[in-house]
Structure 1
């Protein structure tokens, strides 16, 4: 625990917390938009299994990614992957997230054909309600979660660097936020867009740092 009380460790911890907050909110939005595309009576099941899948995948990737990053070259590859995630986040932030739907919003939305739905945020998703089965919606969430959970673990591992205690704290925090506070974070991100931009800057920095460190590892190996 002594490594928590250095300036470098505290800076890494703050980066990890910011990354967890932004990516947990993004995951909640994915769950909400998928749930909005199924009939109202089945949305609770989609939301439950979607969040359960996200938590399970995050734990799974946490168990394997820290070991994989010890392999020469994979830190570089992880940094490149994370940079691609940054590009996706940039495009989403630039579009102002007009179609974002959080899980509780999906639960309160009327089914397709409701008056005035098309003009609301997420109306496009609701207009398709009934056209997507529960299984298809859950599969959509799982596919998105595979990418987002790996992104989260890579970002946390990259920010934690040589601080294993902070790595563990970050991964536990990501699971807790996804399970307990993701919906609240999704609303905060939607209302205060600057939070997303701050998160994007931090994740971009982590990605570039991973590319720099990974490149040096590869060059040392080749020398």
Structure 2
């Protein structure tokens, strides 16, 4: 039971701390709309980001069962950790909180007559989300480790939080940067464990596949 609680917690933390760039794009796109369209744009933008993450994450979870992919995934996850480190240093969450606040304030951002349609804003949000969903997807797929239920429930919880409290979450991460640092440590741990299994696991590890070592039984739950 505790292992599941820890996994769900890791998925939620990873998803929330990696949502800064998505929130920034959504806030900026919404702030460019006329005030009456903004709240809908933020909500729809979060929904689009959510659906993309669930679809990509389910696909990624299936792919992680392919021999050799764990190792590749772990290297990519270390890259995600580096990106998150840079984002924390650059204050991405603070910029995201400001962008969302501007979008929610009818007197800030663009206040003239409608010049962009909701559809145009959502297309730009979707394109940005596709390119930015990789980090979320890799992290949660690695933590879920093939458990689709854990993956979808964990993501759904994080998505509900982002849909109804995106600005608050970004403000919290700005005010208490240690939350992001803890999240980064969690991700580095997940990446390291993934790298270890992707290298030495008897079934999926690259070294046993290359015939360099016999390998060890390292599947989760069966160490």
Give the TM-score of the pair, scaled to structure 2: 0.74
Separation (CA, whole Å) in 2 of partners of 1:131 and 1:218: 54
- The structure 1 residue matched to 2:107, chosen from 110, 124, 134, is 110
Q: CA deviation at 1:86?
A: 1.9
Residue 95 to residue 131, structure 1, CA distance change in 2 (3 Å): farther
Separation (CA, whole Å) in 2 of partners of 1:147 and 1:177: 22
- The structure 2 residue matched to 1:171, chosen from 144, 150, 155, is 155
Give the unaligned 5+ runs of structure 1.
Answer: 113-125
Separation (CA, whole Å) in 2 of partners of 1:84 and 1:136: 31
Give the TM-score of the pair, scaled to structure 1: 0.74
Deviates more, 1:175-184 or 1:54-63: 175-184
Residue 162 to residue 139, structure 1, CA distance change in 2 (3 Å): closer
Q: CA deviation at 1:56?
A: 1.4
- The structure 2 residue matched to 1:183, chosen from 148, 158, 167, is 167
Asked if residue 218 in structure 1 is aligned to residue 206 in structure 2, the reply is yes
CA contact (8 A) 1:75 1:210 kept: yes
> Corresponding residue for 1:27?
22
Give the unaligned 5+ runs of structure 2.
Answer: 212-223
- The structure 2 residue matched to 1:74, chosen from 65, 69, 75, is 69
- The structure 1 residue matched to 2:42, chosen from 43, 47, 62, is 47
CA contact (8 A) 2:73 2:138 kept: yes
Deviates more, 1:196-205 or 1:89-98: 89-98
> Corresponding residue for 1:99?
95
- Deviation >6 Å, runs of 4+: 130-133
Cα RMSD, aligned residues only: 3.1
User: Which structure's relative contact order is higher, taking Cα pairs within 8 Å and 6+ residues apart?
Assistant: 1
Separation (CA, whole Å) in 1 of partners of 2:24 and 2:189: 24
SS in 2 for 1:72: coil
